[in-house]
C-alpha cells in the first residue's frame, strides 16, 4: 500500500487542483510490483461526462509505437541499424538544410534514429522564444509552409501522403547527431504498415493490445462512446470546454503512430508494467532493455540544452533517451526530485506517465487540458512522491 501520508497529499493535490481551476478533472493511478496501490479520480466539470473513461493520450502513443516496432523488427529479423531507405527508397536522397544550403546526409537514417528521435526530422511547431517546443530551425520553417501538422489531421490523408510529404522535406540535422522531438514515431508507424502489409490498428492489436489485455486502447472510430471531453486553457478563469469540430473524433485513413491512440490509465499501467517487469514474452529481454536504458551518446548535442523542457520529456542536462522514453541519468542536476533511471513521457492534453525502475513503481496522471506545460504538474507530483520516500 502507498504510505498514508502520501496518499493524503495526492488526494489533496488533486482536489485543490480542481477546486482552484488548474485542471477540469484528474485521475491518478499508481502500481508497485505489478499491483495497484493507489487510485483517485475527481471530476466536477460537466457531470454528464463523469462516467466516461476514455482519454486521448496523444504523444503517449509514441512509447507504444516504439515497443510494437521492436516486436515487429525482431519477428522479421530486421536490425535497428537497418536504413529506412530499404523500405522507403526516397530517403536515400535525404538532405539537411543548413544556412540555406541543402547538404547530403553523412549517414543513412536508421530505425534506431527514429526510435531515439535522432533522425534529423522535426515537427514544424510554431517559432517562439517562449515555447518549450520551439520550431526554430530552418527545416521547421519548411515544415510549417508545407502545413505537415495540419495535413496529418485531415480525415482523407493517407500513409502514402505522409511518405510523399516527409520525403520532400529537408532534415534539421545530420542523422545521429542531435536529439530533436519530431515526426520520427509517425514515420515508424508507416514503416510498420509497409513491413507487415497491414493497417497499424491491426498490428497493434495483434502484437500488443491483445496479449496485454489492453482492451480499452485503440485507434478511435467515428462511433466512439465514453470519450472524456477535452478542455482548453482560458486565463484568468482557468479553462473552457472545447466545442464544435475540434471535439469530434473523426475516422482517419492515416493512423498516427505519434499521437493517434485513445486509452485509459488502467490500460496504460498494463503497458508500463510490461516494460518494467514483463509477464508475457513479446520480445527478447535484451531488446526490451533498450527501452529501459539510455541509448544516446554522451557527447551528443541536445536541441533542448538551454530550454525549460523538463515538463514534457525531461530532455536536457542529466537526462538521456531510450527507445521510446526519456531517462534520468543524473538526478542531481534535473530540476525536481527523482531517482535515477526513471522513464517518462507525456501527451499534449496533460496525460503524464513515469516508470520508476528502482522502486518498481508506475505512476499515471491523466486529465484532458491543452496546451501542455502551462502548469508544472509533473514537478509537483514528483515532490509529493519522492520527498521522504521509504
**What's the CATH architecture for 79-196?**
Up-down Bundle (1.20)
Render pLDDT for 60-116 as a digit per residue (tens, 0 to 9). 999 999 999 999 999 999 999 999 999 999 999 999 999 999 999 999 999 999 999
Among 35, 27, 30, residue whose Cα is nearest residue 55: 27
Cell of 303: 536541441
The structure's pTM equals 0.94
Euclidean distance between CA atoms 225 and 229, whole angstroms: 11
Ordered strands of the 238-241 beta sheet:
238-241, 231-234, 369-370
The domain segmentation of the chain, as residue ranges, is: 4-67+200-386, 79-196
Q: Helices H, strands E: what count in the chain?
A: 11, 16
User: If we measure between CA atoms, which residue out of 302, 284, 256 comes closest to residue 58?
Assistant: 256
**Closest residue by Cα to residue 307 from 134, 136, 184:** 134
Using one digit for the tens of pLDDT, what is the confidence trace for 293-342? 999 986 555 544 444 444 444 567 788 899 999 999 888 888 778 899 99
The CATH number assigned to the domain with range 4-67+200-386 reads 3.40.710.10
Residue-level pLDDT, tens digit, the chain, 390 residues: 789 999 999 999 999 999 999 999 999 999 999 999 999 999 876 666 778 899 999 999 999 999 999 999 999 999 999 999 999 999 999 999 999 999 999 999 999 999 999 999 999 986 554 444 556 789 999 999 999 999 998 989 999 999 999 999 999 999 999 888 899 999 999 999 999 999 999 999 999 999 999 999 999 876 677 889 899 988 887 888 886 545 556 678 999 999 999 999 999 999 999 999 999 999 999 999 999 999 998 655 554 444 444 444 456 778 889 999 999 988 888 877 889 999 999 999 999 999 999 999 999 999 999 888 788 899 899 999 998 765
Among 385, 367, 379, CA closest to 22: 367
Which segments within the chain are labelled E, that is strand?
Answer: 25-32, 35-43, 55-56, 95-98, 101-104, 178-179, 231-234, 238-241, 262-263, 301-302, 319-321, 326-328, 342-347, 351-356, 361-366, 369-370
Q: In whole angstroms, what separates CA 109 from the centre of its chain? A: 21
Amino acid at each position: 500500500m502507498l504510505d498514508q501520508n502520501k496518499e493524503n497529499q495526492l488526494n489533496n493535490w488533486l482536489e485543490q487542483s480542481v477546486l482552484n481551476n488548474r485542471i477540469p478533472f484528474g485521475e491518478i493511478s499508481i502500481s508497485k510490483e505489478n499491483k495497484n496501490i493507489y487510485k483517485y479520480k475527481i471530476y466536477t466539470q460537466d457531470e454528464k461526462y463523469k462516467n466516461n473513461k476514455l482519454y486521448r493520450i496523444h504523444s503517449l502513443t509514441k512509447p507504444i509505437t516504439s515497443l510494437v516496432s521492436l516486436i515487429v523488427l525482431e519477428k522479421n529479423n530486421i536490425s535497428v541499424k537497418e536504413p529506412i531507405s530499404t523500405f522507403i527508397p526516397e530517403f536515400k536522397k535525404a538532405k539537411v538544410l543548413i544556412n540555406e544550403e541543402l547538404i547530403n546526409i553523412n549517414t543513412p537514417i536508421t530505425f534506431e534514429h527514429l526510435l531515439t528521435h535522432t533522425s534529423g526530422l522535426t515537427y514544424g511547431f510554431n517559432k517562439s522564444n517562449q515555447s518549450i517546443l520551439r520550431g526554430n530551425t530552418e527545416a521547421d520553417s519548411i515544415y510549417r509552409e508545407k502545413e505537415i501538422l495540419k495535413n496529418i489531421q485531415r480525415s482523407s490523408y493517407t500513409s502514402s501522403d505522409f511518405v510523399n510529404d516527409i520525403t520532400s522535406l529537408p532534415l534539421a540535422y545530420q542523422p545521429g547527431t542531435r536529439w530533436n522531438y519530431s515526426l520520427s514515431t509517425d514515420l515508424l508507424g508507416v514503416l510498420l504498415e509497409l513491413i507487415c502489409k497491414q493497417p497499424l490498428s491491426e498490428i497493434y492489436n495483434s502484437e500488443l493490445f491483445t496479449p496485454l489485455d489492453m482492451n480499452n486502447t485503440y485507434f478511435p472510430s467515428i462511433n466512439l462512446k465514453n470519450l472524456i471531453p477535452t478542455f482548453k486553457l482560458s486565463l484568468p478563469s482557468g479553462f473552457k470546454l472545447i466545442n464544435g469540430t475540434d471535439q469530434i473524433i473523426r475516422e482517419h485513413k492515416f493512423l498516427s503512430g505519434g499521437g493517434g491512440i485513445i486509452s485509459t490509465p488502467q490500460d496504460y499501467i498494463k503497458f508500463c508494467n510490461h516494460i518494467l517487469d514483463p509477464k508475457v514474452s513479446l520480445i527478447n529481454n535484451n531488446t526490451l532493455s533498450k527501452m529501459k536504458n539510455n541509448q544516446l551518446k554522451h557527447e551528443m548535442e541536445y536541441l533542448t540544452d538551454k530550454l525549460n523542457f523538463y515538463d514534457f520529456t525531461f530532455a536536457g542536462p542529466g537526462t538521456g533517451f531510450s527507445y521510446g522514453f526519456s531517462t534520468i541519468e543524473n538526478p542531481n542536476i534535473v530540476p525536481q526530485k527523482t531517482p535515477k533511471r526513471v522513464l517518462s513521457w507525456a501527451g499534449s492534453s496533460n496525460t503524464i506517465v513515469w516508470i520508476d525502475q528502482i522502486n518498481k513503481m508506475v505512476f499515471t496522471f491523466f486529465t484532458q487540458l491543452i496546451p501542455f506545460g502551462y502548469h508544472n504538474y509533473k514537478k509537483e507530483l514528483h515532490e509529493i512522491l519522492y520527498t521522504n520516500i521509504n
